Structure 1
Amino acid sequence: MPRSAGASRRLPRARASLLTLGLAAGVVVAALLAAGIGAYDIPIGDVVGSLLHRVGLGGAPLDRVGESVLWNVRLPRVVLAMLVGASLGCAGSLMQGVFGNPLAEPGVIGVSAGAAVGAVASIAFGLTFLGNWTLIVCAFVTGLITVLVVYLLSRAGGRTEVVTLILTGVAVNAFAMALIGLAIFFADNAQITQITFWQLGSLSQATWPKVLAVLPCALAGLLLAPLYARKLDLLSLGERQARHLGVDVERLRIVLVLVVALLTAAAVAVSGIVAFVGLLVPHLLRMAAGPGHRFLVPGSALAGALVLLVADLAARTLAQPAELPLGVLTALVGSPFFFWLLRRTRRKQGGWA
């Protein structure tokens, strides 16, 4: 009996390890393909050779045009796609763990809409006090402020109930959308075009400074998140059980909501609103390898990076020479899956009542 129990425990671990290796390999392959494919095609071998040459491990540089395309256009976009995807995927897994609901995602607590308010306001009112960093900083700051407002409004009697937090997030989301509409009303045609393009989500304006802008926040959040995997596993047993096992549920919720805000606000600030990555990725991994957060949290970061690399590659190649908005593409794929997920969850629970 103990031997079979040990074997049953090793099976999910082996599956999780294989999935992690597969996801990591997929990210590397997708990154190389994304760096090489486009209006100016670069063979994968030449991409690898240029990368090795830059780090002093042999290889050979490309011609002047090839080097410029690869290092000034493609690679910043590839790295930004990985950072944004990893941030959204990881944030989604944390949200679902905190709320104990596979239908939760970062937008629930208003961080995406809040970041959008800052970005849209900076465009509509022509704010330039930080130069090219103005939009990014405004989006990041308003995203964090929105999360803090949602948290403070939903807190009562020294505690924060999940249902109250979600409903407060819905109300704040609606208010944020009203502010966005007001900013658009006062904007001119050129600003409206820029706002619309940003709201649809895109990585077409990726540069190394934008990568550096999101890198500290993304790395901080991605490194902190796995440290709370065990506590999330205990929280999944129920709040009362988690408290009996020594988990400070309220403190855990505060910390993880702030980590989610850090990850999501940084991602939204540089990419616009990219829907459904934080919802779908953790749920798919949970279906494949179980609910354990020791795999789910880092696995969601890897899978999110892979999904956004593939989505961004499709966005800029499916309709060449035009480029599809990234957020539109992820929503087109994610919406039907979300509907299926709702039906599946409802069927398993025998209804919502």
Structure 2
Amino acid sequence: MATDIDTATDRQRGRASLVDGRLLSLCLGSSFVVVASLLVQVSFGTYSMSIPEAWGAVADAAVWTNPQVLFRFLLGEGLGNIVASTLGFSTAEVDLATATNIVWNIRLPRVFVAILAGMALAVSGAIFQAVTRNELASPFILGVSSGAGLTVLLTLVVFSGATFVVPLTAGAVVLDPTALLPFTAALGGAIAFALVYAIAWKGGTSPVRLVLAGVVVSTVFQSLQRALFTFASDIGVVQQALAWTTGSLTGVGWGQVRVALPGTLLAVVLALLLARQLNVLLLGEKTARSLGMPVERMRLGLSVVAIVAAAASIAVAGIVSFVGLIVPHVVRNVVGSDYRKLIVGCLFVGPALLCAADVGARLFFEVVFDQPQQLHVGIVTGLVGGPYFLYLMRKQDTMGEL
């Protein structure tokens, strides 16, 4: 009986230790940044509307009282109608006001994509840093972003205008190449990370070798990306490819939300469930093995989760630099190295950083120069992340192995 009481007490202490003021403050502050970014994004744009009108469009009763409208946004028109009909809701078309259409179909999806991409990149970076025990690791530095970007560009450039027919028993489904982007991105990221690991392996790996191998693979894949531009005869495809290589949220819609959502949710859930294993990996291979962990299999499984997360982001936002590297550092400096807290913090700080950066990317020229041009969000994260990383290097005596 006493043992059971002690065990229950330890569990309660463990749960209590996960909720502290620093983590709560970090999550609340990041949530405030996301909400503020959302309000700014829906309030400004090419189509002129007052701020009350824009915010009113977000809360438009025509959307919130008609579930079929929300289902169509989140699931697509076909599947959305099926789900609405199955649940007993009407599938009738709803006439939305012009302001509501613009806010819900153009401005809000951009914020949701930024939230999902920020979550995915932050979680991916945090996992890679634990798997390699290297605080310099990230999807970008380890070559995963470049590998995923290369396969995405291959899909856009080589198969531009092509269609793929998937035969089904009830007919056939015609897929646009963009529907394959999550899968091609995941494949490219997996190939790149496998190459990095193979190059770095020499009876084991070390933080320095992994980073150096990542730089080599990333450089080669980026060169191949640039070479692909010579095969793109359509200027529109070239511009789209450039947006992918620098990271951009311009022109995203509900289709991109639907593409990013499954992979991001899967990676987030698995990362939360495997947070204890990530903590064990930080103790070192010998300690982890002594505790009964199959280190190589766990490292491989966690790497797959990180690749899925990075691919989900790259498939909709392109190669957004520094988010996967900087966000885990920010969270670690606030809440410590416990991955049960670190993953939760990344789920809030990642979206906050990317949403705020996208506000700057979208409105900088409009506010400062009264011009409609937009920066790519990857440029803004690079301009912010680079100096912050240099600050970390100057602040800390040693950087590298965790």
TM-score when scaled to structure 2?
0.75
Equivalent residue for 2:148, pick from 102, 115, 121: 115
Asked whether 1:339 is paired with 2:348, we answer no
Which residue of structure 2 lines up, in the alignment, with residue 73 of structure 1? 106
Q: Output the amino acid matched with 1:177.
A: Q
Which residue of structure 1 lines up, in the alignment, with residue 304 of structure 2? 258
Which residue of structure 1 lines up, in the alignment, with residue 3 of structure 2? none
Q: Aligned-pair distance for 1:323? A: 0.5
Which residue of structure 1 lines up, in the alignment, with residue 87 of structure 2? none
In structure 2, C-alpha distance between the alignment counterparts of 1:249 and 1:294, rounded to whole Å: 19
Unaligned runs of 5+ residues in structure 2 are 1-12, 67-93, 164-174, 367-371
Say whether the 8 Å CA contact 1:144–1:265 is kept in structure 2.
no
Asked whether 1:188 is paired with 2:221, we answer no
In structure 2, C-alpha distance between the alignment counterparts of 1:153 and 1:103, rounded to whole Å: 17
SS in 2 for 1:82: helix
Equivalent residue for 2:374, pick from 323, 326, 349: 323
Of structures 1 and 2, the larger Rg is shown by 2
Asked whether 1:55 is paired with 2:64, we answer yes
Task: State the Cα RMSD in Å.
Answer: 3.0
- Indicate the larger mover: 264-273 or 194-203: 194-203
In structure 1, C-alpha distance between the alignment counterparts of 2:356 and 2:210, rounded to whole Å: 33
Which residue of structure 1 lines up, in the alignment, with residue 190 of structure 2? 144
Which residue of structure 1 lines up, in the alignment, with residue 42 of structure 2? 35
Unaligned runs of 5+ residues in structure 1 are 1-5
Q: Aligned-pair distance for 1:242? A: 2.3
Which residue of structure 1 lines up, in the alignment, with residue 318 of structure 2? 272
Q: Aligned-pair distance for 1:23? A: 2.8
SS in 1 for 2:140: helix
In structure 2, C-alpha distance between the alignment counterparts of 1:351 and 1:75, rounded to whole Å: 39
Say whether the 8 Å CA contact 1:94–1:256 is kept in structure 2.
yes
SS in 1 for 2:59: helix
Equivalent residue for 2:268, pick from 222, 227, 235: 222
Q: Aligned-pair distance for 1:10? A: 5.4
SS in 1 for 2:321: coil
Equivalent residue for 1:211, pick from 252, 257, 269: 257
SS in 2 for 1:349: coil
In structure 1, C-alpha distance between the alignment counterparts of 2:147 and 2:399, rounded to whole Å: 35
Alignment of 1:155-174 (within 5 A): 163-174=208-219
Q: Aligned-pair distance for 1:292? A: 1.3
Say whether the 8 Å CA contact 1:118–1:135 is kept in structure 2.
no
Task: Give the 3 Å change call, closer, same or farther, for CA 233–268 of structure 1 in structure 2.
Answer: same
In structure 1, C-alpha distance between the alignment counterparts of 2:273 and 2:207, rounded to whole Å: 22
In structure 2, C-alpha distance between the alignment counterparts of 1:350 and 1:24, rounded to whole Å: 30
Say whether the 8 Å CA contact 2:134–2:400 is kept in structure 1.
no
Q: Output the amino acid matched with 2:218.
A: N
In structure 2, C-alpha distance between the alignment counterparts of 1:84 and 1:94, rounded to whole Å: 15
Q: Output the amino acid matched with 1:172.
A: V
Q: How many residues align?
A: 339
Asked whether 1:349 is paired with 2:398, we answer yes
Q: Aligned-pair distance for 1:78? A: 1.0
Q: Which structure shows the bigger proportion of residues in helix conformation?
A: 1
In structure 2, C-alpha distance between the alignment counterparts of 1:290 and 1:239, rounded to whole Å: 21
In structure 2, C-alpha distance between the alignment counterparts of 1:183 and 1:245, rounded to whole Å: 48
SS in 2 for 1:109: coil
- Indicate the larger mover: 113-122 or 258-267: 113-122
Say whether the 8 Å CA contact 1:12–1:290 is kept in structure 2.
no
Task: Give the 3 Å change call, closer, same or farther, for CA 112–53 of structure 1 in structure 2.
Answer: same
Which residue of structure 2 lines up, in the alignment, with residue 3 of structure 1? none
Q: Output the amino acid matched with 1:341.
A: L
